[in-house]
Chains A and B, each alone.
Chain A
Amino acid sequence: METVVETLHMNKGAGETSYAMNSFVQRKIISLTNQATEKAIMEILCSKRRPITKMGIADLGCSSGPNALRVISEIVEAINATSSLLNHQAPKELMFYMNDLFTNDFNNIFASLPSFHKKIRQQKSNYNNGNIGSNCFVSAVPGSFYGRLFPTKSLHFVHSSSSLHWLSQVPCGLEDERGRGLNKGKLYISKSSPNCVLEAYLQQFQNNFSQFLESRSQEMINGGLMVLSFMGRKSKDPTSANCCYQWELLANALMTMVSEGLVKEEDVDSFNAPYYAPCFEELKIEIEKEGSFMVNSYETYEVDWDDGMELQSDDNDLLGRKMSSGERVAKTIRAVVESMLESHFGSHIMDDLFQRYAKLVEDHLSKTRTKYINLVISLVKRQ
């Protein structure tokens, strides 16, 4: 059976259902995170008495499409701006490591690198200080960030956006002794989920997040900084709507197909998303337990399900009709979850499923503006 590590990937390419064309929410989140990134870069560059010669920067869960290189562009801009402000030389050599799982569409990112390098050279020449400007080396590091990815003490800055809510695997213990799903009719945590399901999810998250911290702790230099941005929740209650309702509606859409005999009920019962939206308290516990990092800052942002649409130029579907909110949201969710749903339910039901989902979302949003809660946490590695 294939694992999350071997199947999870955003929809490839640049077609209608691709992540590249349907990732404006994630793009919005990246821009919300930018403030924390700029602040972190400032701290790193200020803390050194002499200019850094080689700076290692990693983006974990970089995915593909326009967002991937946008992150690096913004980091380069932050480094140029800070160096200029401090009247320092920018680091001579900048190593950018782009990480995502093995099935990520890296070819798509690489095809955009020639024009990216041109843009970076342009950015370099925009600064009057002739000493500004680094040699940028971009590479791809495939693999799971729940484990070691980089050599010891090779990173100054780690960025990760819209990735840490993905678990390394579906939590264990979500089936009864006879192998039947305990989380009936649901894909994730819900008000109807038994306590053992909530506990299993929390346990998996705790294991994963502490693995993440431990690995980064060995890979980062002392005083290095991490800015992590991902889905979470404000309330201690893991069943609160703001962190799971998008899954709830997807489960409801599947259940309508069950009642029409298009999908088997036990398939819905046995699917559990390898996903967890933590609250700050849960993060704090693991950070303190692992012990290598201190929290520098912490923010929460409310993000509409169809946020970032103002950044999208094309609001029409293939037939040129203006898309409803529900349709736009359905497209963003599909681009992200299709790979894992397909392997469980089959690709033949995807079009129908997401049409039903779009209607349910539209209906829900017209009554309640449920929002995502995005956590942005800045950590510094202790000296």
Chain B
Amino acid sequence: METVVETLHMNKGAGETSYAMNSSVQRKLISLTKQAVEKAIKEILCSQRGPIMKMGIADLGCSSGPNTLMVISELVQTIYATSNTLNRLAPKELMLYLNDLFTNDFNNIFTSLPSFHKKIKQEKENNQSKNNNIRDFGSTCFVSAVPGTFYGRLFPTKSINFFHSSSSLHWLSRVPSGLKDESVRRSNKGKLYISKTTPNSVIEAYSQQFQNDFSCFLESRSLELVDGGRMVLSFMGRESMDPAAPYGCYHWELLAQALMTMVPEGLVEEEKVDSFNAPYYACCYEELKMVIENEGSFSVDSLETYEIDWDEGIKSEKGEGFARLVRAAYESLLEYHFGSHIMDDLFGRYAQLLDHHFSKTRPKFLAFNISLVK
């Protein structure tokens, strides 16, 4: 059976249901974290007595489409701007690593690299003219792709100065291992994720999987970071300790409802819905802090929470727009389990439920933005 690591990917290309065209929420989260990123970069550069020769920066869960290169563009600009302020040379060599799972659309990123390099060159020249007394101000940028799961080692020991990750750590490495037992797996009846009706055994399995995964993440990163290296991680969470708190799970709830309308029509088997459990977890603040403290390699520099509207950046036809956003991110997993032939119908029904929901409330996500120091 194919695992999450081998199936999960955002929808490829730049078409109507692609991630590139439907990722406004993820883009918003990236922009909200900019300040924390700037602060972290500043601390890293300040902690050195002089200019750094080689600096390694990685974006974990980089996905594809315009968001990907936007993130590293901004990182490079931040490094130049900070170096300017400190009145010193930018790092001579900047290694920019883009990580995501094996089925991510890396080809899409690479075709945009020539224009990215031109842009960086322009940035370098702009900064050069601001620093006429410093020769060769800018950095040589080396961009590479590192495919694989971040629940495990990706980089050589002590090779990275800064990790960035946005909208990725709510994905688990697998469907919780506590759900291996078939009867437990099917006990989350009519649901795709945690809900008010989810049995305790399922909730515990999810929480345990998150703890294992996130610890493994922290351990791997701590071996890969140089001393004093930093991370800024942003991902979806939930607003209270209640596992079924709506900011963390209600979009899954409505998706499950849409699927359940297809069951009495004979389009989807009920036990297929019962046996699907999303490899996803929206943790709460307490869980997050606990795992960090227990793992012990990092201290928390700052931890912020943001509320993001579901319809962020969606101007009209909110139900359809949000349905496409979810589809772009979840389709690969749903297709594998339910078949691709029901996807159009499913997301049409989902859009309708969403329209109704949008007419009553302003639904939101809750996101964490955490800055860690090794």
Contact = CB atoms under 8 A, between A and B. Distances in A.
A110 B106 contact: yes
Nearest to A140: B145
A151 interface: yes
Interface in A103-138: 103-107, 110-111, 113-114, 135, 137-138
Interface string B273-308: 000000000000000000000000000000000000
Contact of A103 (B93, B105, B111, B147): B111
A5 B103 contact: no
Interface string A243-266: 000000000000000000000000
Interface stretch (B150-158, B161-169, B257-265, B352-360): B150-158
Interface residues of A, number: 29
A212 interface: no
Nearest to B147: A110
A241 interface: no
A285 to B, nearest CB: 29
Contacts, number: 81
A149 interface: yes
B142 A151 contact: yes
A152 interface: yes
Contact of B146 (A5, A105, A137, A143): A137
Contact of A107 (B54, B107, B148, B153): B107
Contact of B110 (A54, A139, A142): A142
A140 B98 CA distance: 10
B95 A139 contact: no
Contacts of A149: 142
A182 to B, nearest CB: 30
A140 B106 contact: yes
A63 B133 CA distance: 43
A97 B106 CA distance: 15
Main secondary structure of the interface of B (DSSP, over half): mixed
A6 interface: yes
A141 interface: yes
B113 A137 contact: no
Nearest to A107: B107
A152 B154 CA distance: 21
A49 B271 CA distance: 62
Nearest to B54: A151
A102 B148 contact: no
A93 B224 CA distance: 12
A214 to B, nearest CB: 14
B6 interface: yes
B103 A110 contact: yes
B143 A110 contact: no
A107 B106 contact: yes
Contact of A137 (B5, B142, B155): B155
Contacts of A114: 5-6, 102
A95 interface: yes
B114 interface: yes
Contacts of B102: 110-111, 113-114
B145 A139 contact: yes
Contact of B143 (A107, A111, A137, A142): A142
By Cβ-Cβ distance, the 7 closest A-B pairs, closest first, are A140-B145, A141-B144, A139-B146, A110-B147, A93-B156, A151-B93, A142-B110
Interface of B: 5-6, 54, 93, 95, 97, 102-107, 110-111, 113-114, 140, 142-148, 153-157
